[in-house]
Amino acid sequence: MIAHDRATAPASAGSFRGVARGGFANLAGAIASAAANLLLVVVVARGLPTPEAGVVFATTSLFLLAETGARLGTDTSIVHFIAQASARGRPNDITEYLRLALKPVLVVASAAGAALALAAPAVLTLIVGDTEVPHARALIAVLAAAVPIAAGYDVVIAATRGLDTMKPTVVLERLARPALQAVLVLGAVLAGGGAFAVVCAFIVPYPFVAALAVVALRHRIPKPVVDRSVPATADRVDGGRFWRFTLPRAFAGVLQIALQRLDILLVGAIRGAAAAAIYTAATRFVVAGQLGNQAVWYAVQPRLAGLVANDELEAARRLYRISTAWIIALTWPLFLVAAVAAPLILRMLGRGYHSGGTVMVLLALAMLLSSACGLVDVVLITVGKTTWNLLDTLLAFVVNVGVDLLLIPRFGITGAAIGWALAIVVRNVAALVQVSSRFGFRPLSRLSVDVAASAAVAFAAVPGAALIAFGDDSRAIAVAVAAGAAGYALQLWWMRRRLHLDFVVGRRLE
């Protein structure tokens, strides 16, 4: 399962250059986005009473579930098909794929928003129990109105990645939207607004970034090429192929976001809004690390799709291995610190949140395994096995919900964390067995093992030793983490050529 370092060497300098630059830009944006999202969680947790914070977390989680379902999986497939059309020199297909994706998404998203608005009272009773919610109908109506806007925006911003540019994703999705949300939510809290005002502040940036994303996409779409010697029907894309690929992703996408958000709704329904707030706060610190994974995903997927389309499978396998090393390098520091110093991190949220420590540790450990599997879902999708991806995600979802329903009534948020951690393990291991045995894609190399060992020393051993020596002294732990980070940065710089960081430094964003 572990390949020699030479397996990560590119076939040519151009094989990873664009991916490295796009990944670096996405990483910078992901760091800013993670910071903004964590700030939002801290502001809501500290600025609102715990039950009201739970209402905000539960209702915005419901919004994200509805919006993800309404996308119908097109945010992934549009990247795949546009990247393949570009690699095969078929610019006319790009506009056709956009039409195929956007029209159904906008119709379904509008219907989903309307249904959510009509069912507002029942929905609130289901997800927050007996907690009173001021302006309840208006709150759900605001979320419902934003569903089609957010769904369309996600498809458009994904299409720009398919056209081999990371700039709109970085500027709009990584920087502008999270920063605006954090600033507006902070303003709403400081002004004394409750859950309704905070939810409105959360939603306001979506129309703004959606409009800018449309402008960015229109500037990037290549002009159509007219060849009168070819019948018009010959230029049409295969809509059936597009939707056969996409629909399994639609279900898998809903299940994936459900794996991240459904726990919050179940905890709220079974244990109340206050417990949902604590669980959300603990899990959002860990989930922030997934933005590093997503940064590499966005950069790698278009290039991986192009390699597979041209049958360059060995180059695709090398890209999978090197991208796994990048993901470990980016995400393990946060997950290891979360596992070692969970109680200290939760202190930032104020009283009542310390009980989320066990949740953070369990999920951090599960995320370490997930990162070591690399972009296993992307590989499975890119080789055309979207149905396999759906079945893996469905299995993980069943495990998650089953364990949640069994353990949350007895163990509360710890039971929810156990369910999610098991689901993460099941999903990643199943997909890894499939891509490894069927297609020869393996995530680990000597490089990724070296990176993982360096991260473990810097962010587990050093802070752990400080914890043993000084107890829960936050200043001592902070110094230990800083010292570990400095040593880790030097280690990564020493490995920069093996990590292909020389493709990143001094390069412009594509």
**Residue 155 belongs to what domain range?**
2-224+238-503
CA 43/CA 70 separation, integer angstroms? 29
Residue 117: C-alpha distances to residues 52, 57, 135, 141 (Å): 20, 18, 13, 5
Say which residue the tokens 């119908």 belong to. Answer: 72
Give pLDDT tens digits along the chain (510 positions). Answer: 555 444 444 444 445 555 555 556 666 777 788 788 888 888 988 888 888 888 888 888 889 888 988 888 888 788 888 888 877 777 778 888 888 889 999 999 999 999 988 887 777 777 666 667 777 788 888 999 999 999 999 999 999 988 878 888 889 988 999 999 999 999 999 998 888 999 999 999 999 999 999 999 988 887 765 544 444 444 567 778 888 888 787 777 777 777 777 788 888 888 887 888 888 888 877 777 777 777 787 778 778 877 887 888 888 898 899 989 989 998 999 899 999 988 888 887 777 788 888 999 999 999 999 999 999 988 988 888 878 988 998 999 999 999 999 999 999 999 999 999 999 999 999 999 999 998 899 998 999 999 999 999 999 999 999 999 988 888 899 999 999 999 999 999 999 888 876 554 444 433
Helices 239-271 and 92-118, axial angle in degrees (round to 10): 30
Q: Give every CB contact of residue 43 below 8 A, 6+ residues apart in sequence.
A: 182, 185, 186, 189
Amino acid at site 127: I
Residue 193: C-alpha distances to residues 190, 198, 311 (Å): 7, 7, 56
Coil, helix or strand at residue 229: coil
pTM above 0.75, yes or no: no
Specify if 233 maps to a domain. no
Q: Give every CB contact of residue 501 below 8 A, 6+ residues apart in sequence.
A: 20, 492, 493
DSSP labels for 82-124? HHHHHHTT-THHHHHHHHHHHHHHHHHHHHHHHHHHHTHHHHH
Specify if 230 maps to a domain. no
Per the CB < 8 A criterion, the answer to whether 315 and 307 are in contact is yes
Cβ burial, residue 234 (10 Å; 0-12/13-18/19+): exposed
Tokens of 428: 């990643």
CA 374/CA 449 separation, integer angstroms? 13
pLDDT of residue 18: 53
CA 411/CA 398 separation, integer angstroms? 19
Specify if 132 maps to a domain. yes
CA 61/CA 276 separation, integer angstroms? 11
Angle at 380 between CA 300 and CA 92, to 5 degrees: 60
CA 423/CA 281 separation, integer angstroms? 20
CA Rg, the chain, in Å?
22
pLDDT of residue 17: 55
Tokens of 200: 């409105």
Domains contained in the chain, number: 1
Coil, helix or strand at residue 2: strand
Of 295, 254, 250, the C-alpha closest to 386 is 250
What H or E segment, with its residue span, contains residue 3?
strand 2-3
Coil, helix or strand at residue 156: helix
Per the CB < 8 A criterion, the answer to whether 426 and 403 are in contact is no
Specify if 510 maps to a domain. no
Specify if 134 maps to a domain. yes
Phi-psi domain of 80 (left: phi exceeds 0; alpha: psi -120 through 50; beta: other): alpha
Q: Is the dihedral of CA 490, 492, 493, 495 positive or negative?
A: positive
Specify if 232 maps to a domain. no
Of 277, 279, 234, 222, the C-alpha closest to 404 is 279
Specify if 89 maps to a domain. yes
CA 509/CA 482 separation, integer angstroms? 29
Coil, helix or strand at residue 445: strand
* HEC sequence for 299-349: HHHHHHHHHHHCCCHHHHHHHHHHHHHHHHHHHHHHHHHHHHCHHHHHHHH
Say which residue the tokens 């899990």 belong to. Answer: 283
Tokens of 225: 């090429």
Of 406, 423, 405, the C-alpha closest to 362 is 423
Q: Is the dihedral of CA 339, 30, 214, 234 positive or negative?
A: negative
